[in-house]
């Protein structure tokens, strides 16, 4: 019988390294060291200039690499050295918070550690604001708990943000998973207009991150601008939609103790389940995407 831990210790279609699996051999095994490996391979698109890098439009196109196998191939193309050797910033793959989180989950799963990407909101980027963000969650067996890790935050970013916590164990009141954000907004405990990124904010945006988090929990860790199901009518939700999301929020607002029910709902509800063809908004323009690497 497959357990929740078994499920998250194996790859998703997104995190599977495919023909690039050999690149993952010989990597360190601690979460702290693997986080450093990820930081030496990826450059966050919004932070690039802080590292002295000005990105061309062609380099920004690397943000569209949805599959870890394709990311690894591009990483090796940019710099063929072993992955454990940190690249200079200009030879790192351009990505965002989702890519840091998914790549760390992939490295952990490759070594048999239960791990998953979580989509939600960080409270540590701007004052009085919940910023659209992703982190990794892994099972720390020694403490019998799921731990949130922000793989994006290296020393430079921690100092720039003035962090007061360890990114290897992010407090759950600092990273708000999608279901908890939905609960807070629905209960009037937080203003939906404080959730989002740039000029995109509101309950419709919270709904989108919530549905992405549910999909990621079901090992479909898509891009932040991929859209399907309930997201396509997030500003016109029915009473039935709201009831479904309220119930699902109660199941996913923390570390998901009843994953079997979350899995059942995801598979049963077309508004949640990722279809074979989705819409992806690349540079604000919609494109149909067939989900095959």
41's tokens: 């391979």
Q: How far is CA 96 from CA 39, 93, 131, 191, in A?
A: 11, 10, 13, 25
DSSP 246: H
pLDDT in tens, the chain (293 residues): 468 999 999 999 999 999 999 999 999 999 999 999 999 999 999 999 999 999 999 999 999 999 999 999 999 999 999 999 999 999 999 999 999 999 999 999 999 999 999 999 999 999 999 999 999 999 999 999 999 999 999 999 999 999 999 999 999 999 999 999 999 999 999 999 999 999 999 999 999 999 999 999 999 999 999 999 999 999 999 999 999 999 999 999 999 999 999 999 999 999 999 999 999 999 889 999 999 76
Per the CB < 8 A criterion, the answer to whether 69 and 293 are in contact is yes
Domain residue extents for the chain: 4-290
Dihedral sign for Cα 97, 100, 105, 106, please.
Answer: positive
Predicted pLDDT at 283: 86
Place of tokens 């980027």: 125
Helix, strand, coil % in the chain, rounded to nearest 5: 40, 20, 40
Helices (H) and strands (E) in the chain, counts: 10, 11
């Amino acid at each position: 019988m497959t357990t929740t831990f078994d499920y998250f210790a194996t790859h998703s279609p997104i995190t599977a390294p495919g023909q690039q699996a050999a690149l993952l051999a010989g990597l360190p095994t601690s979460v702290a060291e693997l986080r450093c490996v990820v930081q030496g391979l990826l450059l966050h698109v919004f932070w690039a200039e802080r590292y002295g890098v000005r990105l061309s439009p062609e380099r920004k196109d690397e943000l569209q690499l949805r599959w870890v196998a394709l990311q690894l191939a591009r990483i090796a193309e940019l710099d063929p050295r072993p992955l454990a050797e940190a690249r200079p910033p200009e030879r790192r793959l351009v990505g965002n918070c989702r890519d840091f989180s998914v790549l760390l989950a992939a490295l952990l799963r490759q070594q048999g550690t239960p791990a998953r990407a979580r989509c939600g909101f960080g409270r540590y980027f701007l004052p009085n604001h919940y910023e659209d963000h992703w982190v990794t969650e892994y099972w720390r067996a020694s403490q019998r708990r799921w731990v949130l890790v922000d793989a994006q935050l290296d020393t430079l970013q921690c100092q720039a943000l003035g962090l007061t916590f360890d990114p290897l164990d992010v407090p759950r009141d600092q990273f708000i998973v999608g279901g908890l954000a939905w609960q807070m907004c629905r209960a009037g405990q937080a203003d939906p207009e404080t959730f989002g990124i740039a000029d995109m904010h509101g309950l419709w945006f919270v709904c989108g991150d919530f549905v992405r988090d549910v999909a990621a929990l079901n090992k479909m860790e898509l891009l932040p601008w991929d859209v399907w199901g309930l997201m396509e009518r997030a500003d016109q939700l029915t009473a039935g939609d709201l009831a479904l999301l309220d119930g699902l929020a109660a199941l996913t607002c923390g570390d998901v103790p009843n994953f079997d029910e979350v899995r059942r709902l995801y598979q049963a509800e077309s508004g949640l389940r990722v279809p074979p063809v989705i819409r992806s908004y690349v540079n604000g323009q919609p494109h149909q995407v067939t989900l095959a690497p």
